[in-house]
Amino acid sequence: MSSPIQIPGKMRTVAASVSPTTTNIHDRFASLHRQESLNVRQPRVLHPVENEGLRLLILENISMEAVNAFKAQGLHVDHYTKAMSEDELLQKIGSYHGIGIRSKTKITERVLKAATKLLVIGCFCIGTNQVDLKAAASAGIPVFNSPFSNSRSVAELVMSELVVLSRQLFERSYELRQGLWNKQSKGCWEVRGKTLGIVGYGHIGSQLSVLAEAFGIRVIFFDVINLMPLGSARQVESLDALLSEADFVTLHVPELPETINMISRDQLTLMKKGAYLINNARGKVVDIPALIESLKSGHLAGAALDVFPSEPGSNGSPFDDQVNPWASTLRSLHNVILTPHIGGSTEEAQRMIGQEVSQAVLRYIGLGSTIGAVNFPEVDLRAITAEEGDHVRVCYVHKNQPGVLKLVNETFAPYNVEKQYSDSKGEVAYLMADIANVSPMDITSLQESIRRTDANILTRFLA
């Protein structure tokens, strides 16, 4: 059911008081400038013309901050701590406009077919392979995630691993827990003055660079693109150059065909004797049997691994030779830190994920913005201001085929299109347009014309 368009009042003006002691030209200019900057054009809060009373299904114990952010915008939220099976989802999903999940709830094509009202999916995690992204895009549903909220957490973990490895901290601690006093300094080093080689200078690598320099560590990095080094860090020309110069090598590249086994026997041989390898990126980036060989021979002094080619699916599962054939050998080596993919697992990262994904979901519902969507063209328009009371925003998800824009613009022709932007990704395209001087009655006929276009997947009007 359509709700009337809200026509808010005029632009809000905040009055600035001018001090009676303002005497010289500079003061007067400054106070004028201040007045002008306070006459800010306030963005207007938009509401879906249809779908009033939006309902969200939030699963898997997503942070309360996210739930509260949704509620604060007047959305109805059903919040569950557990994941839902496909059958449970098939029963429930039909009455929801949005769903928030983590990694355990699978959004399959069958679920999407049953999701007749669904507008948006929020993955409150890093990965999105639990969602059939293509089927979601074809149904006009953008999927948002939070790929970089835990960069700082990973960088801090690496900092701790540098010190723990170079002081053989876990071995000493293990011995003392066994009742053995073994005070020694041989083979234990400060990290100050050592060289850290960062492979992949993206979100994590660059954060780490700054933290490491604060410890007095020299930083070199290798990346496939030329990047501005932070602080005194230095980009080197090749992976080989980095490997032969660094005392610590830490990996922060994505898993790609060219990064699988990028650290294998030849690369380990190039590393300095007594160097350390740290992998918090993806398990397949390191050839682990070759690493085991290097550690056993004493060429490398230690390693820290947070990620593995195969990882158990749930907590409490064994990490044994059935998961990875070399697991028991790896577990028996000295000065090797093994952690269960916890690089990004902190309370802060979870909070950031909650904030980032809830904001992206709200921006899509309220403003139509798809910036950050993983399966959708990324489109946004600057806000409609409070004084633009008769403007309507059209959000038109359509099939990426010839002739669509001509048809749509013919429909818009009687109005003034204030701004418009469209983009495509694969078979799906998305157009946003702000149109002026649209009366509430015009909206219905505009909606009908646009929805009648062959290419229409999902059209929403915000006003």
> Would you please indicate which residues are annotated as catalytic (active-site) residues?
282, 311, 341
* Residue pair 242/215 in contact by the 8 Å Cβ criterion: no
User: How many residues sit close enough to ligand NAD to count as binding (CB under 6 A)?
Assistant: 30
Site for ligand NAD in 201-220 (CB under 6 A): 201-205
Provide the token pair at 135: 């089927």
Amino acid 437 reads: N
Residue (341 or 363) nearer to ligand NAD, CB: 341
Q: Which of 150, 166, 209, 375 binds ligand NAD (CB under 6 A)?
A: 150
- Min dist CB 373 to ligand NAD, Å, is 17
Residue number of the CB closest to ligand NAD reads 202
* Residue pair 290/243 in contact by the 8 Å Cβ criterion: no
- Tokens 């740290």 -> residue: 278
- Min dist CB 238 to ligand NAD, Å, is 10
Q: Which stretch binds ligand NAD (CB under 6 A): 112-120, 150-158, 317-325, 454-462?
A: 150-158
Separation CA 156–CA 204 (nearest Å): 10
Largest Cα separation within the chain, whole Å, is 86
Separation CA 100–CA 77 (nearest Å): 10
- Min dist CB 153 to ligand NAD, Å, is 7
* Residue pair 378/445 in contact by the 8 Å Cβ criterion: no
Burial class (CB in 10 A: 0-12, 13-18, 19+), 235: middle
The residues facing 196 across adjacent strands are 219, 248
Amino acid 411 reads: T
Q: Which of 254, 340, 403, 414 binds ligand NAD (CB under 6 A)?
A: 254
Q: Which of 259, 267, 294, 459 binds ligand NAD (CB under 6 A)?
A: 259
Site for ligand NAD in 382-421 (CB under 6 A): none
DSSP conformation letters of 314-360: STT---STTTSTTHHHHHH-TTEEE-SS-TT-SHHHHHHHHHHHHHH
Site for ligand NAD in 129-148 (CB under 6 A): 148
Q: Which of 151, 267, 375, 447 binds ligand NAD (CB under 6 A)?
A: 151
Q: Which of 119, 125, 131, 199 binds ligand NAD (CB under 6 A)?
A: 199
DSSP E strands in 5-161: the ranges are 55-58, 76-79, 98-101, 120-123, 143-144
Does 307 bind ligand NAD (CB under 6 A)? Our answer is: yes
Q: Which stretch binds ligand NAD (CB under 6 A): 98-106, 193-201, 395-403, 437-445?
A: 193-201
Does 440 bind ligand NAD (CB under 6 A)? Our answer is: no
Does 224 bind ligand NAD (CB under 6 A)? Our answer is: yes
Provide the token pair at 115: 């999701």
Provide the token pair at 56: 């969200």
The binding site for ligand NAD (CB under 6 A) comprises 148, 150-151, 154, 199-205, 222-225, 252-256, 258-259, 280-282, 306-307, 341, 343-344
